[in-house]
Amino acid sequence: MTKIKINKFLIGHDCNPFIVAEVGINHNGEIKKAFEMIEIAKKTGLDAIKFQTFKASEFIADTNQTYTYKSQGKEITESMYDMFTRYEFSNKDWIKIKKKCDQEEILFLSSPQNYSDLELLLNLNIKAIKIGSDDLTNLPLLKKFSSTNLPIILSTGMSTIDEVSDALDAVGFFSGYPTILLVTTSQYPTPSKDVNLMKFHTLSKQFPNLPLGFSDHTVGPLASSLACVLGATFFEKHFTLDHNLPGPDHSFSIDPQELKIWRDSIINSFEMLGNPNIKPTKEEEKMKIIARRSICAIQDIKKGEIFTPKNLGIRRPGNGLKPIEIEKIFGTKAVKNIINGRVLEKGDYENGF
């Protein structure tokens, strides 16, 4: 499988999980909150933090189009245009955010919505481009983004396999363009029955050289851990400073404490995968001596005495002759005195050398 390099990180099969804190718009348009989230993501041990860079006027045509979401225990319906305008940052703000990420030594990522957003991010020396599920079928935009030669991270919510293939073709994956594909479901939160992690099997079979990841919109860490087992190597999940903040994404996002649990769960899951070789671990080698059995004297045996089932048995510890050897030893003679309970050695019986 192809490995994709983003800054200092390698992403792909057998690589350490690449774990991203998804801010999205959970900064609520406040740079102070954005800074705090950057600090938390770094302290928690995440590899990157991701934002969404947009200008509402450039991707929403109908200013009367509404969006309904849950916030602070209520159902809110408002103008989508007004909502996104409220969460916009200025170019100067983005410069400050990128600088803060550099200071904290955490990788800055963002999803540009339009060409102008891409230009801004390129000027900030972004290392990869994340494309949300909403733009999977916006093939002209995908082609423009892939003209940067930066790695593309592509989410697949709301998509069919044909749409995924068309998107991969648009960014140039089939010609070798560095691409990471994220399994996701565009439901917030995603119920268990709609996660469909078996998509990993479908995608890995259809696109065997494509690194896969998981954009997790479920509640809790379990789905990401399972995705890790199924081959995900890139992970992202929305997080918030407080579930009770106003806004469309806070209710289903994870808070700082949950962020650490989620991150640790992925790391532990990856570690548990280990390798496919069937062999004892170092600690199991020690346990073999304690738990396995060897051929032992089960009564005092005198020199010249014939070995039989009455004086030889199979007992712990396991640091002597293997049990399978006992039938060969029956009928031979002891060449020395052997006390009850001693593990038999090859030099203890005739023809044992």
What is the structure's pLDDT at 352? Answer: 61
Residue 251 gets which letter from DSSP?
Answer: T
Q: Alpha carbon 295 to chain centroid distance?
A: 47
Q: Is residue 154's pLDDT more than 60?
A: yes
Portion of the chain with pLDDT greater than 70, in percent: 99
Torsional sign, CA 298, 301, 304, 305: negative
pTM (two decimals): 0.91
State pLDDT tens for residues 35-72.
999 999 999 999 999 999 999 999 899 999 999 999 99
In 3D space, the residue among 332, 197, 326 whose CA is nearest the CA of residue 269 turns out to be 197
Residue written as token pair 């851990």: 225
Asked if residue 199 lies in contact with residue 222, where contact means CB atoms within 8 angstroms, the answer is: no
Written out in words, the top-level CATH class of the domain with range 282-348 is alpha beta
Within 13 Å, how many C-alpha atoms sit on residue 285's CB side?
Answer: 3
Within 13 Å, how many C-alpha atoms sit on residue 140's CB side?
Answer: 2
Dist. CA 334–CA 351, nearest whole Å: 10
Number of helical (H) and strand (E) elements in the chain, helices listed first: 12, 14
Torsional sign, CA 176, 180, 182, 183: positive
- Beta-bridge partner residues of 306: 333
Q: Is residue 264's pLDDT more than 90?
A: yes
Confidence of residue 21 (pLDDT cuts 50, 70, 90): very high
State pLDDT tens for residues 268-310.
999 999 989 999 999 999 999 999 999 999 999 999 999 999 9
**CATH fold match for the domains 15-273 and 282-348:** no
Dist. CA 19–CA 32, nearest whole Å: 23
Torsional sign, CA 278, 279, 284, 287: positive
What is the structure's pLDDT at 351? Answer: 79
In 3D space, the residue among 100, 150, 102 whose CA is nearest the CA of residue 127 turns out to be 150
Q: Is residue 169's pLDDT more than 70?
A: yes
Break the chain into its structural domains and give their ranges: 15-273, 282-348
In 3D space, the residue among 285, 270, 281, 271 whose CA is nearest the CA of residue 317 turns out to be 285
Average pLDDT value for residue range 81-91: 94
Residue 247 gets which letter from DSSP?
Answer: S
Dist. CA 183–CA 227, nearest whole Å: 9
Within 13 Å, how many C-alpha atoms sit on residue 19's CB side?
Answer: 25
Q: What contacts 326, CB < 8 A, 6 or more positions away?
A: 295, 312, 314
Tell whether domain 15-273 is in CATH 3.40.50.2000.
Answer: no
Dist. CA 220–CA 213, nearest whole Å: 17
State pLDDT tens for residues 304-330.
999 999 999 999 999 999 999 999 999
Amino acid at 107: L
Q: Is residue 353's pLDDT more than 90?
A: no
Q: Is residue 170's pLDDT more than 70?
A: yes
Asked if residue 316 lies in contact with residue 339, where contact means CB atoms within 8 angstroms, the answer is: no
Q: What mean pLDDT is reported for the chain?
A: 96
